[in-house]
Structure 1
Amino acid sequence: MSSDSPNTNVERLRIPRTIWALGFVSLFMDLSSELVHSLLPVFLVTTLGASALTVGVIEGIAESTAMFVKIFSGAISDFIGRRKGLMLLGYGLAALTKPLFPLAHSVEVVFTARFLDRIGKGIRGAPRDALVADVSPPEIRGACFGLRQSMDTVGAVLGPALAILLMLWLADIQLVLWVAVIPAAIAVTLIVTGVKEPVHAPSEHKFRSPIHWRALLDFSSGYWWVVVIGGVFTLARFSEAFLVLRAQQLGFSATWTPLVMVVMALFYTLSAYPAGWLSDRISRTKLLVVGMGLLILADLVLAQSSFAITMMLGVALWGLHMGFSQGILASLVADKAPGKLKGTAFGIFNLVSGVCMLIASVLAGWLWQSIGSDSTFVVGALLASTALLLLLLKSQ
């Protein structure tokens, strides 16, 4: 009879090589993407002469497209029984778009690149997470998911930080954007050489849509409350591109505007773990209230900021709100959905969130251009307050 305890067995288990490879894939691709995204709003406005409304339309369509594609990519991955091929398609498509940004001499080319890049993101997310689940020993599955997400976050911080260093050295946005091609190519190479997937038996089932419309009547009122609250909250969460534009408006040079993304990512990272720890000990609704409150504060500070220090305080609060709200709504969806209809529940939630994400960024751009930048953040605060009020009414 073995004297080994379960804890000892868990400690002996090692994180599989494929998980490490996926972690580095996420790190390098996020580094590449965030390097581009931290400079793109300024590039669009100053170099290509785009308006704030145009930035909002581009960001809204791009991010909502990723959400829509994500609805179906997981179902397709389950149907074909292969994860790596879809991952390679998603990451490869994103990598191929990177040279388009420095080559762009028109807004239309940037829009095409962002659109294809986000399609790639939508394709790769679900099969990547499914592959993590496939190859992770059950005893350390949480650690495996945590490792990949942590390395993704490291890339989100390093990308804009590298953008600042390169701008100090090269002082040319288009030259700096070329550098983003390198980590994207490394990410794709790592998928080809380092990612191994277990052999799956061919699927014996026909492809089924992840959204079963006939089942809509089976959902409780609690679920629909979460969908409505999530939709209104998403309306308040317009693209972070407007944070970068706010920094430029307050006098930040193109070299230093990526600092906004560094600060936001750092505070998101610092708050995500404590928020996750708290979610196991207090109600998720209370955590979401905190997240919404932080977003309201962030918007109000950003609306009133006239100095760099107050603007950075608003950006820090924005990052904290992400840490306290990211994933909480998804958890509430899982809590409220019937066991056999969780796929449909998330499909509907992502569909509504995608539509609201598009509306949010287009509305933010229109307000910025038509009334003024302050109005974008004031309206964001009002929408977040509406979501908070709905959440408090639901919890009573």
Structure 2
Amino acid sequence: MFKGITGNVIILGLVSFFTDVSSEMIYPLLPLFLTGVLGAGPVFLGAIEGVAESTASFLKLISGIVSDRVRSRKGLVLSGYAISSLMRPLIGSAGTPLTVLLIRTGDRVGKGIRTSPRDALIADSVEPSMRGKAYGFHRSMDHAGALVGPLIATFLLAYFISDLRQLFWLAGIPGIAAVLLIIWKVQETRQVLQPGRRLHLTALPAGPLRRYLLILFLFTLGNSSDAFLLLKAGAVGTPAYRLPLLWAFFHLVKMLSTMPFGALSDRIGRRSVIVAGWCVYALSYLGFGLARSEVEIWLLFALYGIFFGLTEGVEKAFVADLAKEAEVGAAFGWFHFAVGAGALPASLLFGSIWQLEGGAAPFLFGASLSGVAAILLVTVVKVPSQCRH
């Protein structure tokens, strides 16, 4: 099952697991803390997430480019995880919404610093023919942490503590474990070093990779925040107390599907699996637009989770396949920047269409864009012979 997955990939998977346990002990409760304890409104909550994620997207681009120019990707990975792990539990000391904004932004600064170098380090650590499986494993561990974190938080709040601030401080423990794992176990495996080159921040990679990233940006414009799916679930009658269970089920499907589909892409090719995933996305969004019952919502969340299994790890493996060997970090920087740049307008578009045209229209819009993106990926992005498996 784990054949071809190196020690570095396993350790980085555990790092992501512990980091997501820490993050997801806090994140689902953050809206309640902001509105119920600190008195913030929904507009300020949106501002926090917008500023934090935009900061992370830009830094992912910078850190990816920098990681190709320095001698240690591990140093960037360590510093990014350390910043996030130190900042995140400080929410327990916040006395104002503005303080939460600063802490949350600091947390995302760490994410921006670590993400692209980490993905490049994974590419450095495995054979090209095993990248799909490696990224699938990493994403499955990430989703496992996202599943376990809320369950731990629920258990602690139900039986041991009643103060959200105490819970936020305790969430720092798995974050510290992640940092220690990097220090003790992650090995630098640089294969190519290009020191002294100037940073080119305005030029997208050329060739098939550029076309792929532009098409991915188009797809992302139709891929809105998953919060709208939870809103849809509530609109068809799913009770509030079952929404966390639905969310946990969603993460379970993602966790179980990412590694098998990543390994499949090693055998039949990345592009085919990504196209299949985008088609599954279109079907699931059409279904969400037409859904009228809670049972349908649960089935659609399962289908939507399979979309993640088909695409999350495989899209990253495809970036590594298409990138020049000396510019893998920069390629991941542009990849994350393209996704981040599309995410904010995607949610704004989705919300605007929902408000103007009703609940079904925005899902039809997202499904249509994913279909167009799938057609373009097949017709426009020619896969180099060395990338076919």
Please give the TM-score of this superposition, normalised by the length of structure 2: 0.76
Post-superposition Cα deviations, 1:17-44, rounded to whole Å, max 9, x if no partner, equal x766544332211111123233335555
Give the C-alpha shift of residue 120 in structure 1. 0.7
Task: State the distance in 2 between where 1:223 and 1:199 align.
Answer: 24
- Asked if the contact 1:284/1:332 (under 8 Å) is kept, the reply is yes
- Asked if the contact 2:18/2:177 (under 8 Å) is kept, the reply is yes
**Partner in structure 1 of residue 385 of structure 2:** none
How many matched pairs?
376
- Asked if the contact 1:54/1:365 (under 8 Å) is kept, the reply is no
Task: State the distance in 2 between where 1:171 and 1:243 align.
Answer: 29
Post-superposition Cα deviations, 1:43-70, rounded to whole Å, max 9, x if no partner, equal 556665533x665554444334323212
Structure 1 residue 296 corresponds to structure 2 residue 287? no
Give the C-alpha shift of residue 230 in structure 1. 0.5
Structure 1 residue 73 corresponds to structure 2 residue 63? yes
**Partner in structure 2 of residue 282 of structure 1:** 268
With over 3 angstroms needed to count, the CA separation of the structure-2 counterparts of 1:335 and 1:23, relative to structure 1, is: closer
With over 3 angstroms needed to count, the CA separation of the structure-2 counterparts of 1:188 and 1:149, relative to structure 1, is: same
Structure 1 residue 90 corresponds to structure 2 residue 76? no
With over 3 angstroms needed to count, the CA separation of the structure-2 counterparts of 1:315 and 1:144, relative to structure 1, is: closer
- Asked if the contact 2:67/2:329 (under 8 Å) is kept, the reply is no
1:50 corresponds to which of 19, 41, 50: 41
Task: State the distance in 2 between where 1:267 and 1:224 align.
Answer: 31
Post-superposition Cα deviations, 1:48-98, rounded to whole Å, max 9, x if no partner, equal 5533x6655544443343232122224434544234443332112212332
Structure 1 residue 185 corresponds to structure 2 residue 171? no
Task: State the distance in 1 between where 2:355 and 2:346 align.
Answer: 14
- Asked if the contact 1:41/1:245 (under 8 Å) is kept, the reply is no
| SS of alignment partner, residue 98 of structure 1 | helix
Give the C-alpha shift of residue 145 in structure 1. 6.7
In structure 2, stretches of 5+ residues that fail to align are 383-389
- Asked if the contact 1:39/1:258 (under 8 Å) is kept, the reply is no
- Asked if the contact 1:60/1:360 (under 8 Å) is kept, the reply is no
Structure 1 residue 112 corresponds to structure 2 residue 102? yes
Where do residues 189-268 of structure 1 align in structure 2 (5 Å cutoff)?
189-192=180-183, 194-195=184-185, 197=187, 205-209=195-199, 211=201, 213=203, 219-220=206-207, 222-247=208-233, 250=237, 252-253=239-240, 256-268=242-254
With over 3 angstroms needed to count, the CA separation of the structure-2 counterparts of 1:158 and 1:145, relative to structure 1, is: same
With over 3 angstroms needed to count, the CA separation of the structure-2 counterparts of 1:386 and 1:205, relative to structure 1, is: closer
- Asked if the contact 2:139/2:258 (under 8 Å) is kept, the reply is no
Q: Give the letter aligned to residue 320 of structure 1.
A: I
Structure 1 residue 24 corresponds to structure 2 residue 10? no
Give the C-alpha shift of residue 324 in structure 1. 1.0
Q: Give the letter aligned to residue 177 of structure 2.
A: I
Where do residues 100-179 of structure 1 align in structure 2 (5 Å cutoff)?
100-104=90-94, 107-129=97-119, 149-169=139-159, 176-179=167-170
In structure 1, stretches of 5+ residues that fail to align are 1-9
| SS of alignment partner, residue 268 of structure 2 | coil
**Partner in structure 2 of residue 62 of structure 1:** 52
With over 3 angstroms needed to count, the CA separation of the structure-2 counterparts of 1:102 and 1:373, relative to structure 1, is: farther
- Asked if the contact 2:64/2:333 (under 8 Å) is kept, the reply is no
Give the C-alpha shift of residue 102 in structure 1. 4.3
Give the C-alpha shift of residue 141 in structure 1. 8.2
Task: State the distance in 1 between where 2:356 and 2:269 align.
Answer: 41
